[in-house]
Amino acid sequence: MALNPIAFKIGAWPVHWYGVIIASAVVLAVVLSVREAKRRKLISDDIYDVILIGMPVALVTARIYYVIFEWSYYSQHPALIPAIWDGGIAIYGGLIGGLLVVLLVTRHKLINTWLYLDIIAPTVILAQGIGRWGNFMNQEAYGRIVSHSFLTNLHVPTFIVNQMFIGGHYRMPTYLWESLWDVIGFIVIMLLRHRPQLFKQGEVVLTYIIWYSFGRFWIEGMRTDSLYWGPFRVSQVLSLILFFGAIILWYVRRKRNPENRWYLDGHSLSQNV
């Protein structure tokens, strides 16, 4: 029996587990980011300002991204374009919107952008990993048809097996693979990010990009609900661009500035490429 996607109601208004899970992930990400920001001599408001502006912007850009690549449907049903509560947001679209806000806010506040991205990157990938459980509650972001024995042999809890029974078939829990990949990435980055012999300034966020895009490329290939650009899965194309782009940028930055380091003072105009 599938789990109820509605957590509770406020009057006649249903509050979905998807929203509860995403909100919880954001709160945890903010708490962790604020702690690291203070360590890097930034103030809490530097994080809160980006969240307050970035969350609604990211939500809108995530929806726009999804609608663009599903335009054949939404062009026939334009009234449904704002219906974000029915599903249909793309994480890459949200990340693009969030990045634009970070660039604008850090420039306005005279904060080193690379430092800021290094601070929030680990918490972003953690929030992504937690957020995938919202897909689980909505029975989305799944893969091909599999057998019941395939799922039980994974030794996952029974409630996961039951929730993967969708449309009369058991499905590959690709949301779970991505959640695990993201959480492992968070742990790895958190364990290593304060080691200057490994990471120079800007390389924590580049590690996040490399890690996430690599995993997303392979996991996206397992999904049955991908957005397409012609014959290509959009997220796979973007993952390849980000993966190799981050590696090239890492190399170029090290080549240009081998002494690049963490800045303890976040309010620095140095924006090393």
Residue positions forming the annotated binding site: 132
> Phi-psi category of 27—alpha, beta or left, where left has phi over 0 and alpha has psi -120 to 50?
alpha
Which tokens go with 27? Answer: 């709160």
Q: How many CB atoms lie within 10 A of CB 84?
A: 15
Q: What are phi and psi of 13, to 5 degrees?
A: -95, 115
Q: What are phi and psi of 157, to 5 degrees?
A: -60, 155
- Cα separation, 67 vs 95, in Å, equals 16
* CA distance to 40, 64, 228, 236, 237, per residue, from 231 (Å): 45, 21, 6, 11, 11
Cross-strand partners of 228: 233
> Among 66, 62, 69, which residue's Cα sits nearest to residue 232?
69
Which tokens go with 2? Answer: 């599938």
